[in-house]
């Protein structure tokens, strides 16, 4: 008999134990007595890893504590589980769970003196006709306004902000979630796990999460949530009227009927109190200098260089602007060539950078994605009259930047698939005139090529390509040739601009829109010396992204010095991890 789950409703088991079974207290478990129709109930206080014995049999050892006899010196007993039952128990067992063991064999424990537990242990296996019941506990849920420092709680919350899981500085994945509830209190949680699937499967603002065994800590007057031993989560769609189906990778979880009411009440509250309207999410609606989330299908990918990766995606709509096609070698582009050709006027190229590259490489062609905080940038080609739109997913996780893989069961994916199937690809083939701009080094006219090479010659820029099979050609010959042609040139560098990197940028004032040069080292010293004379401005203290304190020096001048402690993911960090800004 496999491990069974018992749900307790109003103090009674929804599926009662067999009527012939009677409860046995720990003190009555003695050798020489008949325990055929007896069961023992206790709470899991310790479990050991599943292992195999010499003959290949699975073996699991757990320790149960008798909750009815906590005052006794010996109130726990070893349970030895064999065979398939051991494998099943290992999948569902958690610290603090209540287990019922029936059909057991009682034997003398060889470790009683060492571990201080009961003098006997219980042996169970399917072959012996044993049964184990896992009693679903009745969880209490804490509202966000009643959280206390140092406690481990269970809670429900509505997602107000989140960062898709990303690789942390160590080996774990990290996700940051900010929750709210009808108590109008906000809680930011930082969640770590070595297994990506064990983190909450959040797809959008407004989703509802259930966290079990999350640890609460207070830092600088703010409550924060962090993962603790046994942390588990469920995620639900926050849309009113949507099916109440939990998202989780766990095969063993409890969900009571009364919890459905909690979710429905949170959905109604969120619909009137939480703004979940996100930025434009269709390619047909993009504009330059926009940040938006895109739900799309991946049709191609390619490595560009060590810090960037190309994703070719589509959502069935057409970008109203010419789009940038990232130049990559055809052999490096993964994806069905026929599909890529068919969709060439509907796909866009998204360049992802830095910490997003590792995940981008692992994505499967054909999968459905939600890419968060894509940046659209307008740029010009060498022909100044032509501009195009570029799509970038910048490095870092600010503003929730990241990539999420959506399952095909997701409602947004179902809607997208239906729409993609209805797209008339023939129409897109007839719109070549508005096609994407291929920036692969070709030019639209002989004049374009000549002007480009003349600029190169004036600056004496050396142009090299990887076409080692071509002979070097003189610039004069290139200028007198008819485009398009392929050449490999070799030139001597005379000069270059800018001479220093900081000369490539200017300082911009958002108030007066003026542009100034970046000061050099001497100017910077002068500016800093002048600013030290002015006392820090209290109106600029304690903003949303840093906390401030004011100190007074102990010398005769008694200068005011402001220390700004920069937050990370809306939370202050431990002292050794905190970035400081010092004013004055």
Q: Which domains does the chain have, with CATH numbers?
A: 22-135 (2.40.50.140), 151-273 (2.40.50.140), 283-422 (2.40.50.140)
Q: What is the pLDDT of residues 258-298, one digit of tens each?
A: 899 999 999 999 999 887 655 557 999 888 888 899 999 99
Check residue 280 and give its pLDDT.
Answer: 54
For the beta carbon of residue 98, count every other beta carbon within 10 angstroms. 17
CB atoms closer than 10 angstroms to residue 293: 18
pLDDT reading at 106 higher than 70 = yes
User: CA-CA distance, 509 to 272, in Å (whole number)?
Assistant: 39
Long-range CB contacts for residues 126-130, cutoff 8 Å, separation at least 24:
126/1, 126/2, 126/83, 126/84, 126/85, 127/82, 127/83, 128/103, 128/104, 129/1, 129/103, 130/1, 130/85, 130/101, 130/102, 130/103, 130/104, 130/105
Beta bridge partners of 292: 374
Most confident of 7-11, 78-82, 231-235: 78-82
- Is pLDDT at 437 greater than 80 in this prediction? no
Residues 6+ apart with CB under 8 A from 95: 44, 45, 46, 47, 229, 230
Output the pLDDT for position 251. 63
Average pLDDT over residues 426-446: 47
* pLDDT score of 451 more than 80: no
Q: Where are the beta strands (DSSP E) in 407-533?
A: 437-438, 506-508, 515-517
Q: In the predicted model, what is the mean pLDDT of residues 74-97?
A: 86
Q: Angle at the Cα of 88 (from 84 to 93), degrees rounded to 5?
A: 140
- Say whether pLDDT at 31 is over 80: yes
Confidence (pLDDT) at 438: 43
Mean pLDDT within 417-424: 90
Which residue has better confidence, 20 or 437? 20
Helix, strand, coil percent content, the chain, rounded in steps of 5: 20, 35, 40
Helix (H) or strand (E) holding 396: none
The reported pLDDT for the residue numbered 278 is 56
User: In angstroms, rounded to a whole number, what is the distance separating the alpha carbons of residues 10 and 14?
Assistant: 9
- Tell me, what's the pLDDT at 14? 52
Q: What pLDDT shows up at residue 453?
A: 41
Percent of the chain with pLDDT over 70: 83
Residues in the chain: 584
CA torsion sign, 389 to 395 to 400 to 402?
A: positive
Grouping H, G, I as helix, E, B as strand and the rest as coil, residue 362 is: helix
Return the top range by mean pLDDT from 2-6, 124-128, 167-171: 124-128
Return the pLDDT at 535: 76
Give the span between the Cα atoms of 544 and 571, in whole angstroms: 10
Least confident of 8-22, 143-157, 427-441: 427-441
DSSP state of 488: B
User: What residues contact residue 98 under an 8 Å CB cut-off, 6+ apart?
Assistant: 41, 42, 43, 44, 134, 135, 137
User: Dihedral sign, CA of 204, 210, 212, 215?
Assistant: positive
pLDDT per residue over 177-218, tens digit each? 999 999 999 999 999 988 888 899 999 999 999 999 899 999
**pLDDT at position 452:** 43
- Whether 444 shows a pLDDT value over 70: the answer reads no
Flag the least confident range among 347-361, 422-436, 454-468.
Answer: 454-468
Q: What is the pLDDT of residue 73?
A: 65
pLDDT in tens, 299-354: 999 998 878 999 999 999 999 889 988 888 888 899 999 899 989 889 999 999 98
Mean pLDDT within 138-150? 91
Count of alpha carbons within 13 Å of 2, Cβ hemisphere only? 7
What 257-262 contacts at long range (C-beta under 8 Å, 24+ apart), as own/partner pairs, is 257/9, 259/210, 262/141, 262/156
Q: Which of these, 19, 20, 51, lies nearest to 35 by C-alpha position?
A: 20
**Whether residue 462 has pLDDT greater than 60:** no
Cα 47–Cα 53–Cα 55 angle in degrees, nearest 5: 155
CB atoms within 10 A of CB 330: 8
Residue 458: its pLDDT value, please? 42
Q: How confident is the model at residue 545 (pLDDT cuts 50, 70, 90)?
A: confident
Q: What percent of the chain has pLDDT over 90?
A: 33
pLDDT band at 71; cut points 50, 70, 90: low
| Residue 146 banded pLDDT, cuts 50, 70, 90 | very high
Q: Which two tokens stand for residue 301?
A: 């990918």
3-state secondary structure of 82: strand
Q: For 324, phi and psi rounded to 5 degrees?
A: -80, 130
pLDDT, mean of residues 496-518: 79
């Amino acid at each position: 008999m496999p491990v069974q789950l018992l749900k307790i409703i109003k103090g009674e088991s929804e599926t009662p134990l067999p009527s012939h079974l009677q409860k046995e207290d720990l003190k009555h478990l003695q050798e020489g007595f008949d325990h055929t129709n007896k069961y023992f109930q206790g709470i899991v206080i310790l479990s050991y890893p599943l292992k195999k014995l010499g003959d290949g049999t699975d073996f699991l050892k757990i320790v149960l504590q008798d909750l009815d006899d906590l005052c006794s010196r010996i109130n726990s007993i070893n349970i030895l589980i064999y065979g398939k039952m051991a494998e099943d128990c290992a999948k569902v067992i958690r610290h603090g769970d209540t287990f019922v063991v029936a059909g057991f064999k009682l034997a003398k424990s060889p470790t009683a003196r060492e571990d201080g537990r009961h003098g006997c242990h219980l042996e169970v296996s399917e072959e012996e006709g044993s049964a184990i019941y896992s009693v679903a506990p009745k969880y209490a849920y804490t509202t966000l306004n009643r959280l206390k420092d140092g406690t481990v709680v269970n809670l429900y919350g509505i997602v107000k902000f989140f960062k898709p899981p990303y690789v942390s500085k160590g080996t774990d994945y990290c996700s940051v979630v900010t929750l709210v509830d009808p108590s109008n209190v906000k809680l930011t949680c930082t969640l770590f796990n070595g297994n990506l699937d064990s983190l909450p499967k959040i797809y959008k603002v407004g989703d509802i999460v259930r966290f079990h065994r999350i640890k609460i800590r207070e830092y600088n007057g703010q409550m924060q949530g962090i993962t603790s031993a046994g942390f588990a989560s469920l995620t639900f769609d926050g849309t009113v009227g949507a099916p109440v189906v939990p998202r989780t990778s766990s095969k063993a979880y409890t969900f009571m009927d009364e919890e459905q009411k909690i979710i429905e009440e949170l959905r109604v509250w969120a619909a009137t109190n939480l703004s979940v309207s996100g930025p434009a999410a269709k390619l047909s609606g993009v504009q330059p200098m926009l940040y938006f989330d895109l739900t799309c299908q991946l049709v191609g990918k390619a490595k560009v260089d060590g810090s960037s990766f190309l994703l070719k995606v589509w959502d069935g709509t057409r970008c109203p602007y010419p789009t940038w096609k990232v130049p990559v070698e055809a052999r490096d582009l993964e994806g069905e060539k026929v599909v890529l050709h068919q969709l060439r006027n509907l796909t866009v190229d998204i360049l992802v950078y830095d910490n997003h590259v590792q995940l981008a490489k692992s994505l499967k062609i054909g999968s459905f994605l939600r890419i968060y905080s894509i940046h659209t940038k307008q740029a010009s080609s060498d022909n100044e009259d032509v501009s195009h739109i570029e799509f970038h997913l910048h490095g870092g996780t600010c503003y929730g930047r990241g990539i999420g893989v959506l399952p095909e069961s997701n409602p947004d994916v179902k809607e997208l698939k239906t729409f993609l199937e209805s797209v008339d690809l023939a129409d897109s083939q007839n719109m070549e005139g508005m096609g994407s701009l291929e920036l692969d080094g070709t030019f639209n006219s002989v004049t374009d090529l000549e002007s480009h090479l003349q600029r190169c010659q004036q600056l004496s820029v050396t142009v090299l390509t990887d076409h080692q099979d071509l002979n070097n050609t003189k610039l004069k010959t290139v200028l007198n040739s008819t485009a398009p042609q392929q050449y490999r040139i070799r030139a001597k560098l005379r000069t270059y601009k800018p001479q220093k990197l900081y000369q490539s940028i200017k300082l911009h004032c958002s108030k007066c829109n003026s542009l100034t040069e970046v000061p050099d080292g001497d100017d910077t010293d002068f500016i800093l010396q002048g600013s030290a004379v002015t006392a820090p401005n209290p109106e600029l203290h304690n903003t949303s992204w840093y906390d401030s304190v004011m100190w007074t020096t102990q010398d005769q001048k008694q200068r005011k010095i402001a220390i700004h402690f920069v937050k990370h993911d809306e939370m202050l960090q431990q002292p050794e991890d905190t970035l400081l800004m010092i004013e004055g």
